[in-house]
Amino acid sequence: MRACVWTMRATRRAVPACLSAVLVAACAVSQQQEVDLGASTAAQVSAELPLIRDAAVVNYITALGAQLSQATDTRDLAWHFTVVDSKEVNAFALPGGWVYVNRGLIERASNMSELAGVMAHEIGHVTLRHSVDQMQQAQGADMGLVLLCTLTKVCEGGAGQAAIGIGGSALFAKFSRSDEAEADVEAVATTVKAGISPYGIPSMFRILLAERKTNPGALDAFFASHPLEEDRIEHTEAQIATYPASELQRLAKDSPAFQTFRRRLLAMPPSPAPKKAPAGTAQRPSTENGGSLQ
Ligand SMILES: [Zn+2]
């Protein structure tokens, strides 16, 4: 049923006929093609982003991700959850089930349910196939590089963008506001089904919005790739209020394992600060990626 949301969304957005044709064509993307697209981009991400390989970190993020994805995935995808060693606050999902969460976001979460909410939101982008939709619209873009810009600050400023040949409009891999709203709805349902309190979702939004006020610029990447306004807090809280209070009270808010995991990240050496463009990309023509993302 969800496989063809593009047709409806294309109609609703009244996009030009040519784009509608692309979106309708995207409906034909099979699950295998979706997984192949995610796998090839994940290989680029592994080559270009600093990923945390520490076994305890990998085990925790994988277990929490499995708890969430098993509660909602009806397509039996092979999910992969990874912590990116970046102090920037962000998270991202690739088609087919690859989810990345930056260390900077995890370190700002005060309890397990806040991280779980972000991960459930990213899982929602995959299960609703927003990620395939987005990458179909980004045809021709080097998504590995776009994600490098999205998840780190390597491309910050005109010089960085020029160095790796990414046009300004393709700097961030963006989801639309309607995609964000849909992923939030999924995230609330998924966390509840997984036995985790959905209050972590609006709680994490509050942390990020408060930091945007006190430390403008620090969260630019997150806000550019995931439009976040105060109304997302209201909408998620209204959805949560539809559940019986007795059910919500039974759900887990935190765990000793999360706090151990977070302390382990906080004790690690500072995240690397990528300053140079990836090898071999300096000659990339600037037109290759320009303007293809929303
Ligand atoms: Zn999102």
Q: How far is the CA of 175 from the centre of ligand 1 (A)?
A: 6
Predicted confidence (pLDDT) at residue 290 exceeds the cutoff of 90: no
Predicted confidence (pLDDT) at residue 108 exceeds the cutoff of 90: yes
Cα angle, residue 227 at apex, residues 80 and 184 outer, rounded to 5° = 55
Q: How far is the CA of 183 from the centre of ligand 1 (A)?
A: 6
Predicted confidence (pLDDT) at residue 100 exceeds the cutoff of 70: yes
Report how far apart the first and last C-alpha atoms of the chain are (Å, whole number): 25
Predicted confidence (pLDDT) at residue 139 exceeds the cutoff of 70: no
Predicted confidence (pLDDT) at residue 292 exceeds the cutoff of 60: no
Q: How far is the CA of 280 from the centre of ligand 1 (A)?
A: 30
User: Which of 145-149, 213-217, 246-250 has the highest average model confidence (pLDDT)?
Assistant: 246-250
Q: Point out the catalytic residue in the list 114, 182, 184, 186.
A: 184
Cα separation of 43 and 279, whole Å? 16
pLDDT in tens, 156-205: 655 555 555 555 555 456 677 888 899 999 999 999 999 999 999 999 99
- Strand, coil or helix: 94: strand
pLDDT in tens, 109-124: 999 999 999 999 999 9
Which of these ranges, 21-25, 111-115, 260-264, 277-281, has the smallest mean pLDDT? 21-25
Predicted confidence (pLDDT) at residue 56 exceeds the cutoff of 70: yes
Q: How far is the CA of 227 from the centre of ligand 1 (A)?
A: 8
Residue 252 — pLDDT band, cuts 50, 70, 90?
very high
pLDDT in tens, 197-247: 999 999 999 998 888 888 777 677 677 666 677 889 999 999 999 999 999
Q: How far is the CA of 263 from the centre of ligand 1 (A)?
A: 26
Predicted confidence (pLDDT) at residue 138 exceeds the cutoff of 50: yes
The pLDDT assigned to 64 comes to: 98
Which structure tokens are listed for 22? Answer: 């692309």
Q: How far is the CA of 254 from the centre of ligand 1 (A)?
A: 23
The pLDDT assigned to 4 comes to: 28
More confident residue, 6 or 242: 242
At 201, phi and psi to the nearest 5?
A: -70, -60
Per-residue exposure over 1-27, b if at least 16 CB sit within 10 Å of its own CB, e if not: eeeebbeebbeeeeeeeeebebbeebb
184 in active site: yes
Which of these ranges, 11-15, 35-39, 139-143, 237-241, has the smallest mean pLDDT? 11-15
Q: Point out the catalytic residue in the list 34, 122, 142, 186.
A: 122
Cα separation of 43 and 40, whole Å? 5
Q: What is the mean pLDDT of the chain?
A: 78
136, 201 in Cβ contact below 8 A?
A: no
Predicted confidence (pLDDT) at residue 145 exceeds the cutoff of 50: yes
DSSP element (H, E) containing 91: strand 91-94
C-alpha distance from residue 293 to each of 13, 177, 214, 289 (Å): 16, 14, 30, 8
76 in active site: no
The pLDDT assigned to 272 comes to: 86
Left (φ > 0), alpha (ψ -120 to 50) or beta: where does 45 sit? alpha
C-alpha distance from residue 249 to each of 6, 58, 68, 111, 192 (Å): 37, 29, 18, 16, 11
Q: 82 has which bridge partners?
A: 100
Query: How much is the pTM?
Result: 0.78
